[in-house]
Amino acid sequence: MFFKLWPMFKTALPFKLVSFLLLFGILVSCNEDTVEPMGEGSIAGTVITAETGEPIPAASITTTPATTAIVTDAAGKFLLDGIPGGDYNVSAKKNGYKTEAVSVAVMDGKQKQITIVLGRSKDTNSVPNLPAKPSPAVDATNQPTTVTLKWQGTDPDKDPLTYDVFLYEPGATQKKKLAEGLTDTSFVATDLKYGTLYLWQVVATDEIGGLTNGPVWSFSTLPLPDTRYLFARAVDGNYDIYSSTGTEAGIFKLTSSFAREWWPVISPRRDKIAYSSNVTLDPQIWIMSRNGADKRQITTVPVAGYHNLGIGFAWSPDGGYLVYANYDNLYRIDSDGANLRLLAKAPANRHFRMIDWSAQTNRIVVQTIGSNINDSEIYTMNADGSDMKLVVNNLPGRIESPSYSIDGNSIVYTRDIDGFESKEGRQLNAHIFVQKLDGSGVIDISANKPAGTNDLYPRFSPDGSKIIFVNTSNDGISQMDIWMVDALDGKNRVKLFSNASMPEWK
């Protein structure tokens, strides 16, 4: 029997022994790793403003879980001492500021350093003071067309400020924002118009969003100099209109649209300038004051036709209306855009193009052109479109730019004397010619021009002694410059303006 139980005994004994030893080990282990209490620590902190970083005194400090409620001292500092170890949210609160909290873990015998940043509440924020001390002074006169606008800005809460600057003319339907979000108290306004009253205003905003609209101040610019010259100039491929006293230094920009604006023609009264603009896609006639103000479109039927991108129109001698080309139609329209009516029809298969009107004879000279740019003739007619007479035949080479002499007895025009004709319209040797209306007395004004160049767009000076014109290389891609020359014999060629075309001189 004993021998039958022995194998079982041998199996059970080790199992009980192992269990006992394991239990003993666990008890011993628990005794060695007993958790110690976290003890006490402290939290030292500073409360500052979000806007300037300055300390905030007398801010209430509380914790979650609750410990001791205290306030910051004059330097914005506080100390929570003897706090049981653990995780806390420390909150800072003061009237006029948003309440903020910081999480911190307190450990035995340790001091934690924290900073609590408070932003001011919009409910208690003071808006900026009114902008003051403007420069130019209120109602200042004779200011340049580039002027530095200055002002003084302050805030009751000593907040940093930003500024928006607006500039506009009296009666404007919308203020033009010159600058936005400025941190400086000055801004340079450029491209102002001569002889113009301007209103300007500064809007101040603090970091909390408080906003103050400043007073509306005013100043006026210098009177427009005596600018008797007009021309178009291309900058970065975009044409605008300029006026000048006769020197490069005395040039003033009159238009600044994204559109192509060119072919300026001043009225006989010298108070308005007509020009063409494709701001509405089709080239239309616009009118502005001599200083570039009061721009308005007067046509809805475009200046267009064969090889015509808005270059065919002229003032009536009294300045009351204009005539202009629209395909095979020659229209008359009042200077205010009213009373459009047909004056004449071009010969068959031709369109009207460049035009001038003599104040002395009250007759119109006009170029007609076919679909081929080299197919050109020049006619004259009465102011009502009657009595149309051919004065320059369709000669070899391009013929264009007819304009009257001061007495109305002669015309000036250009012709490529080499007779070169390409479908693109390139000219090799365009000369300026003056001739009587009956075709006699032809004078070649360009006999002394540089070889390899073209003389283009001629017009007589106001006293008739000079001709103003464009000279450019015959490569068709080079810069155009404006020159003048003696009208009698083509001598004394003098360059007036660089990078300039389509001259007008009244």
For residue 340, the SS3 value is: coil
- Low pLDDT (below 50) residues in the chain: 1-13, 15-18, 20-36
Q: Which of the 8 DSSP states describes residue 428?
A: S
pLDDT at 452: 97
Q: Where do we find the tokens 């009587």?
A: 436
C-alpha separations of 205 from 51, 129, 187, 202 in Å: 14, 10, 16, 10
Q: Which of the 8 DSSP states describes residue 124?
A: G
For residue 79, the SS3 value is: strand
CB < 8 Å & 24+ apart, contacts of 315-319: 315/265, 315/266, 315/267, 315/268, 315/274, 315/357, 316/268, 316/357, 316/383, 317/268, 317/357, 317/358, 317/359, 317/362, 318/268, 319/267, 319/268, 319/269, 319/271, 319/272
pLDDT at 26: 44
pLDDT at 38: 67
Q: Which domains does the chain have, with CATH numbers?
A: 40-123 (2.60.40.1120), 125-221 (2.60.40.10), 229-505 (2.120.10.30)
Q: Using alpha carbons, select from 319, 316, 324 the residue that is nearest to residue 346.
A: 324
d(CA 46, CA 54): 10
H-only helix segments in 329-454: none
For residue 5, the SS3 value is: helix
Each residue of 460-480: pLDDT tens digit?
999 999 999 999 999 999 999
402's CB contacts (< 8 A; 6+ apart) are 354, 355, 356, 365, 366, 367, 378, 392, 411, 412, 413
